[in-house]
Structure 1
Amino acid sequence: MGKKRKQREAETNGPAAKKEDAAASEERPKRTLLGWKEKPQENADAAATAPSFRNKEKVLVTCSRRINFRYRHLMLNVVSLLPHCKKDNKVESKEIKGATLNELVELRNCSSCLFFECRKHLDLYLWMAKCPNGPSVKFLVNAVHTMEELKLTGNHLKGSRPILTFSANFDKDAHWLLLKEMIIQIFGTPKGHQKSKPHHDHVFAFSIVDDHIWFRNYQIAVPHIESDKVPRGSLEKMTLVEVGPRFCLNPIKIFGGSFGGPTLYENPFYVSPNQIRALQKKRKTGKYAKKVKAKTRRKMHELSNPLEPDEFADMWKE
């Protein structure tokens, strides 16, 4: 039976059939797991004319040693909000931290860095830098509220792409425009990132109030009941529910390089927390000095105005 099958196959697969198969294989390009090896001429021309830019932004998020637990939770919340970030080990916050952070960013194949620096277990500074050429910004972080602390009702899909919104104040001055562009590049999730979801279900709101940048995270709540279902394109029934975290950024300086360099902008209204604590101590010392002065005045008044002797003071001594 095996010999007969071979003879039949040889008869059917003659030289004419082989020629037809060769022509068909020449016409059809070979296909691989990544696509077609030889693209048609029309598609090749279209790909050559189309722009080939792809956003490959990656952010390195790290913190300094001896960081407070509350600020560490804030950093972890930021990591959960940015699917295109990479978390690294703690870095010693010294004068040479700029060189070490630039090396870490290069080793992790990132283009930006968010460095949470804690001082005296009280003050939190946020470095926002574009590596390795800059610019970089140093912020003082105030009014910190983490997701676990707020216990808000909002909830959005993890890894989804956010919609960035900015107040109209960002277009007034040059330094605010620079900060806006840096925030867009760092907090904006690249389209088509492998860890991101192709949905827009939450909003990052950045607003300027009293020369401070206030950050809020809102979920876009859409009703899914058949009676109240929102048609495509209508925004009347959509609502915003806050998710968290919350924090306030007070810009201190903008540098031309990465974690240093020439100073491009310095905030004239910035007061360091060390000065604020020193003023509070001076006020307390002033209160004590006032008490001491009041006691001395009372004694001087008693000496200058002695009481008259009481007639009945020695009545019951006999």
Structure 2
Amino acid sequence: MGKRKAAKEAPEVEQADGEIAEAAAPPTKVAKTDAPPSWKNKEKVLLLSSRGITHRYRHLMLDLIQLLPHCKKDVKLDTKTDRAVINEVADMKGCSSVVFFEARKKKDLYVWMSKSPDGPSVKFLAANVHTLAELKLGGNHLKGSRPVLSFHAAFDEQPHLQLLKEMLTHAFATPKRHPKSKPFLDHVINFSVAEGRIWLRNYQVVVTPGKKGKVTTEEMSLVEVGPRVCLQPIKIFAGSFGGPVLYENPGYVSPNKIRAAIKKQSSGKYTAKVKARGRRREHVAAHPIPKDELGDVFK
């Protein structure tokens, strides 16, 4: 009994020289160290523009590229090409969101924002564009830092604004622990709703100098950095760059109609001037000046 018990406690192994030796004890499990958390959110944004884009709109796109370290840019897209090709480009780039700058007549800028490849997508008209080079404001934050997104309370009041809030969050929120981002939260991207438009502003978070330890909100201030842009939603589609219309802005007026109205108004001024000139001639012909009897005395 004692020998069997010993055999169980220490199993025997025959060596090459015929001697009996105890087998080596099995290796103990090494405790795993706490590895850094992985990058789970793989959200990427594709930024590209159409041909014919002006320098101001191109600089706006470059400013957004600096604000979004998780974005990828591509070459200009021909305006005659079907916009559905953008979904294929986004698939090759591994992007799930798309921001497309479509320029028309070298005057108007339409911004498409889409979730590729199934949608939804929204079409904006961009106005009041001011780039970083134009503004030259006092704010300055770290390039590549993650932003804090601030949304106006009106985004939760209407269904189409709730959808726009979700799409803006996917496009502008830098994923946590993204390889190209920096682990700092030093600026705020604000989205406000006024007059049926979405106003985008970027602010730097400034802390009172010399403050150590926990900082309260009263000791923080915001300094605008830029850029500035106003986005007026036109239509929301169920698919990516097309499909059934989910929402259509009733207050939207095309820039072409606005320019035509201004041109018609200016032409109306000229027509009124010509009519006034004709009425003056008729008045002078109908009321001739009587001849002065002494008018030729000094000639």
* TM-score between the two structures when normalised by the length of structure 2: 0.88
What is the distance in 1 between the residues matched to 2:22 and 2:63? 65
In structure 2, distance between residues paired with 1:17 and 1:183: 68
Residue ranges of structure 2 left out of the alignment (5+ in a row):
1-19
* Distance in 2 (alpha carbons) for counterparts of 1:170 and 1:303: 67
Q: Which residue of 1 aligns with 2:15?
A: none
Alignment-derived partner of residue 122 in structure 1: 107
Partners of 2:22 and 2:193 in 1: CA distance: 75
Show the counterpart of 2:237.
Answer: 255
* Structure-2 residue corresponding to 1:149: 134
Which residue pairs with 1:28 in the alignment? 29
Which amino acid in structure 2 is aligned with residue 189 of structure 1?
T
3-state DSSP of counterpart to 1:310: coil
Identity of paired residues, percent? 56
Query: 1:53, CA displacement in angstroms?
Result: 9.7
The one-letter code of the counterpart of 1:132 is P
Alignment of 1:56 with 2:42, yes or no, is yes
The CA deviation at 1:313 is 2.3
The equivalent residue for 2:24 is: 19
Give, in angstroms, the shift of residue 93 of structure 1: 1.9
Tell whether the 8 Å contact from 1:223 to 1:230 is kept in structure 2 after alignment.
no
Match of 2:62 in 1: 76
What one-letter code is carried by the residue in structure 2 that aligns with 1:245?
Answer: P
Asked whether the 8 Å contact 1:222–1:230 carries over to 2, the reply is no
Contact 1:230 1:237 in 2 (8 A): no
Distance, in Å, in 1 between the alignment partners of 2:143 and 2:239 is 33
Equivalent residue, structure 2, for 1:301: 283
Equivalent in 144, 148, 162 of residue 159 of structure 1: 144
Residues 51-109 of structure 1: CA deviation (Å, up to 9, x unaligned): x9932110000001111000000000000000100011100123612x21011000001
| Residue in 1 that maps onto 2:17 | none
CA contact (8 A) 1:163 1:204 kept: yes
CA-based RMSD of the aligned residues comes to: 2.2
Q: Distance in 2 between matches of 1:17 and 1:218?
A: 72
Residues 1:131 and 2:113 are matched in the alignment: no
Distance 1:191 1:173 in 2: 29
Question: What TM-score do the two structures reach when normalised by structure 1?
Answer: 0.83
Equivalent-residue separation in structure 1 for 2:246 and 2:228 (angstroms): 28
Which is richer in helix?
1
Q: Select the structure that is richer in strand.
A: 2
SS in 2 for 1:231: coil
Supply the AA of the counterpart residue of 1:19: A
1:88 maps to 74
Distance 1:18 1:239, change over 3 A: farther
Structure 2 distance, partners of 1:244, 1:311, is 77
Task: Find the residue that maps to 2:190 and give its secondary structure.
Answer: strand
Q: Which residue of 1 aligns with 2:292?
A: 310
Q: Cα gap change, 1:160/1:311 in structure 2, threshold over 3 Å: closer, same or farther?
A: same
Shift of 1:192: 1.0
The structure 1 segments of at least 4 consecutive aligned residues displaced by more than 3 Å after TM superposition are 15-18, 28-32
Give SS of 2:217's match. coil
Extract unaligned runs of 5+ from structure 1.
1-14, 36-46
Whole-Å Cα distance in 1 between the matches of residues 281 and 212 of structure 2? 80
| Residue-by-residue CA offset, 1:251-297 (whole Å, 9 max, x unaligned) | 00000000000000000000011001000110111011001100110
User: Mean Cα displacement is larger for which, 229-238 or 156-165?
Assistant: 229-238
